[in-house]
Amino acid sequence: MFKSLLRTTAVASILAVSALAAHAENPMVGGAPMYENKTIVENAVNSKDHTTLVAAVKAAGLVDTLSGAGPFTVFAPTNEAFEALPAGTVDTLLKPENKDQLTKVLTCHVVAANAMSDAIDKMVMDDGGTHDVKTVGGCILKAKSEGGKITLTDETGGVATVTIADVKQSNGVIHVIDKVLLPKS
């Protein structure tokens, strides 16, 4: 009986360590585990750091798109990034009459590819230090890699830094950023 109990405990320990190791590959975002077998939307709704982004995606009618097959790379601004916009900007964008403008802003954070950070770094190096990234919304972002951090410069000159990279999803990847990327007016 003791051998059986020991074996059961050993198997349970191995399974627990295996589960932790598998989970450790994908970072936690906003206090929530991000699961590789869930879509961008299914994971984002659980991040307490992305409630504004999720509300904006819903208001823009992009839930079905970002739940689709992809692949998508989403540069996901945090709530703090949205709060740094001029006062009233988010409330204005969330109004139904501004849906087109909101959609443009959000789709300037989405690339129709599965671009992990090492691939972005390589493109930046291959292009001599800056790589143009064309988004689904038609914006051109300037990607750079300095000191192990990827930055994105939007069309207005704003610079966002990737703070959490390579959050794998079933339909792409999320890179958490610290600034909202804006299209030129």
pTM: 0.83
Question: Which residue(s) pair with 64 in the sheet?
Answer: none
Could you tell me the two tokens for 108? Answer: 């300037």
Q: pLDDT 10s digit of each residue in the chain, 185 long? A: 444 433 443 333 333 333 333 444 778 888 788 888 888 888 888 889 888 998 999 899 888 888 888 899 999 999 999 999 999 999 999 999 999 999 999 999 999 999 999 999 999 999 999 999 999 999 999 999 988 899 999 999 999 999 999 999 989 999 999 999 999 97
Q: Collect all residues with Cβ–Cβ distance below 8 Å to 3 and sequence separation of at least 6.
A: none
Residue whose entry in the numeric block shows the structure tokens 């409630």: 51
Q: Collect all residues with Cβ–Cβ distance below 8 Å to 159 and sequence separation of at least 6.
A: 151, 152, 153, 179
Domains and CATH numbers, the chain: 2-177 (2.30.180.10)
Whether residue 26 contacts residue 167, with contact meaning beta carbons closer than 8 Å, is answered with yes
Could you tell me the two tokens for 84? Answer: 């740094």
Whether residue 152 contacts residue 25, with contact meaning beta carbons closer than 8 Å, is answered with no
Whether residue 48 contacts residue 31, with contact meaning beta carbons closer than 8 Å, is answered with yes
Element (H, E) at 72: strand 72-77
Pairing of strands 72-77, 172-177: parallel
Handedness of CA 12, 15, 20, 21 (dihedral sign): positive
Could you tell me the two tokens for 156? Answer: 């207005």
Whether residue 162 contacts residue 121, with contact meaning beta carbons closer than 8 Å, is answered with no
